Amino acid sequence: MKQGIFPGTLIAGIGLYFLSKQWAVPFIGEMDALPAFLLIIGIAFLLQRKEPYALFSGVVICGIAIHYYASGNISNWPAIWIVYLLSIGVGFILQYNKTKQSGLWLGAALTILALIALFASQTNGIFREIIQYTERFWPVILILVGGYLIKKK
């Protein structure tokens, strides 16, 4: 693996960000520093094609960066935990697609859960009540599932 891809992408990306700020480039020059730097780091991970586990990190970090940018610029952007679950689920699925190892079922479950929560939060009725109830306990659920996965390995 070329050692210069990751640091080179970081340095070039940060340079492009500051240059776009100076030149007032639309979209890029308007981004705040946090989502821009997260996006640069995520892209640097994604460009490491030889490292299959960097794909997961890149997808999750890019998903968080897009969320931070969109939450400040799109009025109907969904709740924070839904986007995190979706980013992590998609990251697991793409990592499984590349490595053909574990992560498919967990990624599918997280993605489906996030999509159900996304669409149920926009409706009325029993689904919305279930989502509102589970929003109070989702950190505990994630800790328990994570602990189970750690102990299982």
Q: What is the mean pLDDT of residues 16-42?
A: 83
Dihedral of alpha carbons 61, 64, 65, 66, sign: positive
Angle at 13 between CA 8 and CA 17, to 5 degrees: 155
Residue 56 belongs to domain spanning: 5-152
Six-digit token string for 89: 């689920």
8 Å CB contact between 63 and 78 = no
- Could you tell me the CA-to-CA distances from 35 to 17, 39, 64, 99, 151 in Å, in that order? 11, 6, 8, 28, 34
Residue with the bigger pLDDT between 47 and 30: it is 47
Mean pLDDT of the chain: 83
Of the listed ranges 9-13, 51-55, 83-87, the one predicted with least confidence: 51-55
Radius of gyration in angstroms for the set of CA atoms belonging to the chain, rounded to a whole number: 18
Which pLDDT score, from 0 to 100, does residue 79 have? 66
Of the listed ranges 6-10, 56-60, 80-84, 120-124, the one predicted with least confidence: 120-124
Q: Which of 91, 89, 78 is nearest to 117 (CA)?
A: 78
Which pLDDT score, from 0 to 100, does residue 65 have? 92
User: d(Cα 131, Cα 20) in Å, to the nearest integer?
Assistant: 41
Q: Which of 105, 55, 106 is nearest to 85 (CA)?
A: 106
Q: Answer yes or no: is pLDDT of 125 > 60.
A: yes
User: d(Cα 6, Cα 50) in Å, to the nearest integer?
Assistant: 12
> Which H/E stretch holds residue 14?
helix 5-23
Domain count, the chain: 1
Six-digit token string for 107: 């990624």
* Alpha helix positions (H), 24-103: 33-46, 52-73, 80-99
Confidence of residue 153 (pLDDT cuts 50, 70, 90): low
Burial of 133 (0-12, 13-18, 19+ CB in 10 A): exposed
